[in-house]
């Protein structure tokens, strides 16, 4: 049996982990289209992105760059409230870096929505995905320079198809998605076998305006696969004047999440801080995440006590 250097296996495991659709996003309610293709265009037409760094006390710690755009086509052409089938499209690009491992991904999604009651919509969506996962072995310092792992093809090109369904209303949504329902790839699939595990996600949210200037928004997400089993998280935020928000949450087996943000007309800026319960060398692990988004749809869709922030 071939023996691989411990360092190489550690870095490859890290690269495989961050390449999965199950990557952690503190502000997941703002990126519903990436988690469930059926929710593409759910918040209207927008462009948004985030930057996330983890365990920044370590050299070459994990970093993530994300940029996405989604368009509610029925909203743009003025047929959103005509009772016809509504269509939305989205495109997302993501780049992960952790030590010598990098992942570059693209996600092209489509969703269709139809009214089933006066207040409830049924949505369905598909997303075509591509991920390139690579480990630069030249950056490593193995104990054994002749280790066969160093001569292997440490790159993977993976193609997949995600599918999702959802029920939505003005202030409520719930959806289910399956990642890599169909998948294929080329490259060293042995090293990156974790990328080929079928994953499931259930996501839901509810918002309620208590007064004209104060409301509550709750979101939850549960992901499951055969390897990591179930991982659940929930967030609760308070919203003031439909402009400022502050809140917190908890991710299973990880820790507490604190977040705050502000909206200036159609521009939103948010910040999240994760306080991981685990410690390494006496330091608490954690992450910082900055989100910036611009919504082309009107910022205030409803009068009175309505909320337009998730």
Percent of the chain with pLDDT over 70: 75
CA 308 to chain CA centroid, nearest Å:
20
- Closest to 258 measured CA to CA, from 249, 266, 245: 249
Residues in a beta bridge with 270: 261, 291
Q: What are the CA-CA distances from residue 216 to residues 119, 168, 293 (Å)?
A: 20, 18, 21
**Residue 145 neighbours by CB distance under 10 Å:** 8
Least confident of 54-58, 112-116, 253-257: 54-58
pLDDT average, residue stretch 89-112: 93
**Residue 240 neighbours by CB distance under 10 Å:** 12
- pLDDT, one tens digit per residue, over 136-193 is 766 555 555 555 555 555 788 989 999 999 999 999 999 999 998 887 877 666 666 6
Distant-in-sequence, close-in-space partners of 291: CB < 8 Å, separation ≥ 6: 27, 30, 48, 49, 50, 261, 268, 269, 270, 271, 272
Q: Is 60 exceeded by the pLDDT of residue 132?
A: yes
Least confident of 51-55, 75-79, 229-233: 75-79
Helix ranges, 24-91 (H) = 32-35, 73-76
- Across 51-55, 251-255, 256-260, the highest mean pLDDT is recorded for 256-260
Report the length, in residues, of the chain: 310
pLDDT average, residue stretch 261-267: 92
> 270: pLDDT confidence band, cut at 50, 70 and 90?
very high
Q: What are the CA-CA distances from residue 173 to residues 121, 167, 201, 252, 309 (Å)?
A: 9, 6, 14, 22, 13
- Closest to 293 measured CA to CA, from 15, 13, 34, 6: 34
The token pair that represents 173 in the structure block: 């949504």
> 304: pLDDT confidence band, cut at 50, 70 and 90?
very low
pLDDT average, residue stretch 197-221: 94
Residues in a beta bridge with 106: 93, 130
Which tops the pLDDT comparison, 201 or 54? 201
Q: Is 60 exceeded by the pLDDT of residue 298?
A: yes
**Cα–Cα distance, 143 to 192 (Å, whole number):** 22
pLDDT for 77 equals 74
SS3 134: strand
Least confident of 1-15, 53-67, 189-203: 1-15
Distant-in-sequence, close-in-space partners of 303: CB < 8 Å, separation ≥ 6: none
Our CA angle for 229, 32, 29, nearest 5°, is 85
> 256: pLDDT confidence band, cut at 50, 70 and 90?
very high
- Closest to 28 measured CA to CA, from 219, 238, 164, 211: 219
- At residue 33, φ and ψ (nearest 5 deg) are -65, -35
- pLDDT, one tens digit per residue, over 14-49 is 434 433 455 789 999 999 999 999 999 999 899 999
Residues in a beta bridge with 267: 264, 294
Least confident of 138-147, 248-257, 277-286: 138-147
CA 172 to chain CA centroid, nearest Å:
19
């Amino acid at each position: 049996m071939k023996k691989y250097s411990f360092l190489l296996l550690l870095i490859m495991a890290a690269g495989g982990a961050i390449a999965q659709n199950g990557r952690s996003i503190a502000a997941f309610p703002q990126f519903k289209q990436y988690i469930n293709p059926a929710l593409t265009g759910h918040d209207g037409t927008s462009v948004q992105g985030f930057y996330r760094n983890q365990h920044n006390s370590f050299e070459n710690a994990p970093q993530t760059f994300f940029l996405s755009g989604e368009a509610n086509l029925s909203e743009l052409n003025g047929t959103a409230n005509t009772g016809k089938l509504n269509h939305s499209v989205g495109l997302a690009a993501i780049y992960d870096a952790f030590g010598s491992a990098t992942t570059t991904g693209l996600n092209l999604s489509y969703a269709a929505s139809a009214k089933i009651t006066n207040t409830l919509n049924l949505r369905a969506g598909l997303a075509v995905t591509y991920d390139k996962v690579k480990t630069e072995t030249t950056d490593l310092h193995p104990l054994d320079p002749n280790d066969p792992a160093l001569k292997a093809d440490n790159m993977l090109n993976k193609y997949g198809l995600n599918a999702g369904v959802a029920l939505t209303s003005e202030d409520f949504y719930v959806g289910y998605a399956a990642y890599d329902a169909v998948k294929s790839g080329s490259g060293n699939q042995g090293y990156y076998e974790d990328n080929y595990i079928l994953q499931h996600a259930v996501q839901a949210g509810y918002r309620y305006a208590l007064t004209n200037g104060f409301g509550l928004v709750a979101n939850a997400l549960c992901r499951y696969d055969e390897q990591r089993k179930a991982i659940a998280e929930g967030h609760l935020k308070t919203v003031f004047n439909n402009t400022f928000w502050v809140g917190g949450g908890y991710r299973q087996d990880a820790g507490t999440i604190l977040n705050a943000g502000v909206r200036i007309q159609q521009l939103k800026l948010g910040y999240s801080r994760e306080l991981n319960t685990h410690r390494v060398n006496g330091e608490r692990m954690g992450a910082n995440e900055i989100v910036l988004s611009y919504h082309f749809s009107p910022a205030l869709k409803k009068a009175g006590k309505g909320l337009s922030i998730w």
